[in-house]
Amino acid sequence: MQRYFVPAATWSEQTIKIIGDDVHHIKRVMRFKVGDQIICSHPDGHAAICKITILDNNVVYVDIVEWLDQNVELPVEVTIAQGLPKADKLEMIVQKGTELGASNFIPFQASRSVVKWDEKRQDKKLKRLSKIVKEASEQSHRNKVPMIYPNQSLSELIDLASSYDFKVFAYEEEAKTSEYHSLSSVLKQVGEQQRIFVCIGPEGGFTEAEAVSLKDNGFQAIRLGPRILRTETASLYALACISYHFEEMRCN
Amino acid sequence: MQRYFVPAATWSEQTIKIIGDDVHHIKRVMRFKVGDQIICSHPDGHAAICKITILDNNVVYVDIVEWLDQNVELPVEVTIAQGLPKADKLEMIVQKGTELGASNFIPFQASRSVVKWDEKRQDKKLKRLSKIVKEASEQSHRNKVPMIYPNQSLSELIDLASSYDFKVFAYEEEAKTSEYHSLSSVLKQVGEQQRIFVCIGPEGGFTEAEAVSLKDNGFQAIRLGPRILRTETASLYALACISYHFEEMRCN
């Protein structure tokens, strides 16, 4: 069933009002009629099967039929901080990262980021990224839509990470030593509902100065397997491993 | 150090002759000079640090300086069979799948594949995909370049898979039941150097008839986590989990 994330303001006890882009999607893309059913997700993570009662030009009304108790959110909260990569790679990272269960995405200006975001560009980019995570959340049946942060500096990033239970960064040099730390050594210490901050460099990775600064602020350097991954593959690898560790290893 | 995969025919005991596209890459892209060092990989998986001795118009000669014993291949052999997806998704799948350690990629014509490959199109596609896996192998420092198979039917695919130790397919319906099988339940049975065949449907997944046919031929239906993944994310999830299980869980 098609899922829509509806802002809290338009929910009442029995009825939900849907406005904006979703109206176009419901009427023109999915071609739903009065009586058809959709799933509406509330920002608090709850979701309900709803029946369409009114299809108007710029507004759709639905009645709540049944509350769902399915929860497909990761049992830990994962934030992906991504050094600004080239081209449209960030779009791919947030789309796939949403499918894989990330809670937050924080782009940051790394030393080796070739791309720069000025204010005008940032507004446009953030709007586009927010649209991508909303659609990916709907498609992958997430209960919550991940948050996209504005672009940060490394020191701002370190501040943001200070409240997290575990902080790691992917460091290519770590993959080359025999004394490396793996993501699994960290995940084994993480308990339910704890928060993990995963920091990924841009193309070319972190500079030595950045690595020192991260280590000085409680970040552990880890490798993400023995092969060298492209920047846009690294966060997806980390998220898939976190899902496997917490969601799949514990079942038959 | 930059890595090149060089066909067996041009290796002699001390010297390697490099021809074709790599000459352009060495001279024009990397701008290497005589005396610079590169890594050359032999198709048998061995690799050596080599010094450039001659840079000619259409040929480069290098001397072997030191054999390397690093091996970053997955300890199990993974074949990804991918139902033909839309647009250029297959290119992304083989690029990322190579970084993540796959040994073979087999495209196949699934019932819900919208794309069709005629013979002319297939030749062009396979050439392009082969170039992508070669470059991704070099970039991720693989010892071997994965193989790309021509497009198969489902029954040809089932024949190809018959010699594998473990055969699984990602089935969306499996994710929805509470009695699901996870990838981890399979991986726990897999021993070193055994062969795993992972079959992923196109957009929309497998039809019920395809699922029955795969099950009748020894394929286990598995879920890939609780969220619904796009087709191009599914194989990457599976490969990352296999890497995590065999390469990362066993170290600190």
Same domain, B118 and B201: yes
User: Is A106 found in the same domain as A204?
Assistant: yes
Instruction: Tell me, yes or no, whether B81 and B60 share the same domain.
Output: no
- Chain-centroid distance of CA A193 in Å reads 16
**CA-closest candidate to residue A4, choices A73, A69, A52:** A52
pLDDT band at B40 (very low <50, low <70, confident <90, very high): very high
ipTM of the complex: 0.85
CATH of residue A136's domain is: 3.40.1280.10
Spell out the residues 6+ positions from residue B27 whose beta carbon is closer than 8 angstroms to its own. Answer: B55, B60
Residue at a domain's end among B37, B68, B99? B68
Identify which of B185, B240, B252 has the shortest CB distance to residue A181.
B252
pLDDT tens, position by position, B101-133: 999 999 999 999 999 998 888 999 999 999 999
Report pLDDT digits (tens) over A18-48.
999 999 999 998 999 999 999 999 888 889 9
Residues A251, B185: C-beta atoms closer than 8 Å: yes
Amino acid at position A23, single letter: V
Residue A250 has pLDDT above 70, yes or no: no
Same domain, yes or no, for A175 and A99? yes
Cβ-defined contact of A225 to B101 (cutoff 8 Å):
yes
Query: Residue A184: its chain B contacts at CB < 8 A?
Result: 244, 248-249, 251
CATH classification at residue B32: 2.40.240.20
Write phi, then psi, for A82 (nearest 5 degrees): -120, 115
Q: How confident is the model at residue B145 (pLDDT cuts 50, 70, 90)?
A: very high
Residue labelled with tokens 């499996």 = B174
Q: What DSSP string runs through A185-237?
A: HHHTTPPTT-EEEEEE--TT---HHHHHHHHHTTPEEEBSSSSPPPHHHHHHH
B99 and B218 both lie in a single domain:
yes
Give how far Cα B150 sits from Cα of A4, B88, B129, Å.
40, 16, 11
Contact A227 B252 (CB under 8 A): no
The whole-number pLDDT of residue B252 equals: 35
Any CB–CB contact under 8 A between A189 and chain B?
no
Residue type, A174: E
From B8's Cα to the closest Cα of chain A, the distance in A is 23
Res B251: pLDDT: 44
Residue B147, pLDDT score: 97
Residue A241 with chain B: CB contacts under 8 Å: 240-241, 243-244, 248
Clarify whether residues B99 and B26 are in a common domain.
no
- Clarify whether residues B135 and B221 are in a common domain: yes
- Contact predicate B239/A244, CB 8 Å: no
Judge if A233 and A154 occupy the same domain.
yes
Domain match, A27 and A120 both: no
Domain stop point among A23, A44, A68: A68
Beta pairing partners, A196: A78, A166
Q: What is the pLDDT of residue A172?
A: 79
When pLDDT is cut at 50, 70 and 90, the band that residue A182 belongs to is confident
**Same-domain status, B22 and B96:** no
* Residue A74 pLDDT > 80: yes
- Cross-chain residue pair A225–B247, CB shorter than 8 Å: yes
Interface test with A, best of B78, B174, B227, B235 (most A CBs within 10 A): B227
Distance from the A155 Cα atom to the nearest Cα atom in chain B, whole angstroms: 29
Same domain, B135 and B22: no
Read off the pLDDT of residues B153-191 as tens digits, 9 standing for 90 and up: 999 999 999 999 999 999 977 666 666 788 998 999 999
Cα distance between residue A114 and residue A85, in whole Å: 7
- Choosing from B43, B68, B93, the residue where a domain stops is B68
Mean of the per-residue pLDDT values of chain A: 93
Query: Which domain does B122 fall in, by range?
Result: 77-248
Question: How large is the average pLDDT for residues B61-84?
Answer: 93
> With an 8 Å Cβ cutoff, is B2 touching chain A?
no
- Share above pLDDT 70 across residues of chain B, in percent, rounded to a whole number: 96
Query: What pLDDT was estimated at residue A176?
Result: 63
Considering its fold, how many domains does chain A have in total?
Answer: 2
* Same domain (yes/no): B96, B51: no
**Long-range residue pairs from B211-215, CB within 8 A, at least 24 positions apart, any chain:** B211/B169, B211/B171, B211/B173, B213/B154, B213/B158, B214/B154, B214/B158, B214/B167, B214/B169
